[in-house]
Amino acid sequence: MNNTLILILVVGTALAFDFTNGFHDTANSVAPTIATGALKPRTAVAFSAALNIVGAFLSLKVAATIASSIVDQTSVTLAIVFAGLAGAIAWNITTWFFGLPSSSSHALIGGVVGAMFASVGSAGVLWHGIAAKVFVPGIIAPLVALLVAGLATIVSRVATSRVDDGARTIGMRVGQIGASGLQSIAHGTNDAQKTMGVITLALVANGTLAADAAVPTWVIWTCAIAMALGTFIGGWRIIRTMGHGLTHIDPTQGFAAQMSSSVVLLTSSHLGLPLSTTYVATGSVVGTGIATRGRKVHWNVAGRVVAAWLITLPAAGLVGAAMFGVESLFSGSVGEVVVAILLVGYASAIFLRSRRQVVDHTNVNEPWKSELDEPVATAVAA
């Protein structure tokens, strides 16, 4: 297998990750809209998928960050990129199964960094870039989203306090549709570009592109379409957790949460910061629950989300490093083939296990069982 065929395998795996990113993170854009009945589930994911494509073309700053600010381009090989992608996909599938809204962005960065570390050691990782553009924004952004969403909820309730309940509900649901569209554009602008950056990194590693080359147009189109298809499939388990597991969401909260997330994400994309859309959206939903009098926030579920937040980077990094280790056991390109087989086998096993009790558009809005303090996996009918 020559380098061209290995490159095709790597690009295909990157698009597979982009697809998992789409269905894993669909909840960020549509969960509140579905939970409040502003849009029917299938309509919501189709609407979001279309606008993901629009968002992918608005900016390329995040793609440039992923391609140049995370690992040393001169040390990157196709084997490193492939192992990193495998680690990210494995983590995405695992957290999807348990209905946990973890970060696809952090999984991708963690997987690539872990594979790079296993290959050349610490020298190949741009720690300053990761700290400045991943760690610090990753901590600050969800807190900002929480505060902004809380404030937006209070302001919205005060501004509509004299409006008839029925009219307010209708107005907020209409506003939710617009906010969901804006958040879907923000998701495409931020998340689709991460895979663009990784494919660009692979093209540079293969010598197909110069280190300072722009993202090719075909990369933009394929990444946008792959993410949109994943979004259309709908990650219903995570949509359920985001829409019902963190707190009960009414139309005012849904509107405030989605507008707040959109503002934070579009700002980060403009600055070239690869934020986790998942943690921004989660922070916004929790913020609306805190700001609503008498509303219960399910802190047991929120705590599991935070735990996933903390371990995603290192966990995906360890899997990425392990995948690179497997590749290193074989000569030539056999290692990549073995890793691909392992990844397909694991994904198939998880999918088959998930079919025992299905969560889809028909039952995504069933009452949440967290008041019984059941584990997330049970609550999402895993």
pTM: 0.83
- Alpha-carbon torsion angle 133, 55, 191, 236, nearest 10: 140
What is the residue whose two structure tokens read 């080359």?
A: 213
Phi then psi dihedrals of residue 125, to 5 deg: -105, 130
pLDDT higher than 90, residue 376: no
- Is 355 domain-assigned? yes
- Is 148 domain-assigned? no
pLDDT higher than 90, residue 235: no
**Mean pLDDT of all residues belonging to the chain:** 85
- Which residues have C-beta within 8 Å of that of residue 289, sequence separation ≥ 6? 246, 247, 248, 249, 253, 295, 296, 297
Note the pLDDT of residue 49.
93
- Is 286 domain-assigned? no
Note the pLDDT of residue 382.
30
Question: Whole-angstrom Cα distance, residue 111 to residue 290?
Answer: 34
Q: Average pLDDT in the 242-252 region? A: 88
- Is 264 domain-assigned? no
CA 7 to chain centre: 24
Q: How far is CA 228 from CA 56, 193, 286, 310, in A?
A: 10, 13, 26, 27
The rounded percent of the chain whose pLDDT value lies above 70 is: 92
Note the pLDDT of residue 66.
67
DSSP per residue, 147-204: HHHHHHHHHHHHHTTTS-HHHHHHHHHHHHHHHHHHHHHHHHHHTHHHHHHHHHHHHH
Nearest to 92 by CA among 288, 270, 319: 319
Phi then psi dihedrals of residue 247, to 5 deg: -170, 160
Helix (H) or strand (E) holding 327: helix 299-328
- Is 292 domain-assigned? no
Per residue in 25-35, pLDDT (tens digit) is 888 889 999 99
pLDDT higher than 60, residue 281: yes
- Is 352 domain-assigned? yes
- Is 154 domain-assigned? no
Give the range with max mean pLDDT: 60-64, 165-169, 187-191. Answer: 165-169
Q: How confident is the model at residue 274 (pLDDT cuts 50, 70, 90)?
A: low
Report the number of distinct structural domains present in the chain. 1
pLDDT higher than 80, residue 377: no
- Is 149 domain-assigned? no
- Print the domain residue range for 325: 3-136+164-254+298-379
* One-letter amino acid for residue 26 of the chain: T
Note the pLDDT of residue 63.
57
In terms of C-beta distances under 8 Å and separation of at least 24 residues, what long-range contacts does 351-358 make, across chains too? 353/97, 354/97, 354/237, 354/382, 357/381, 357/382
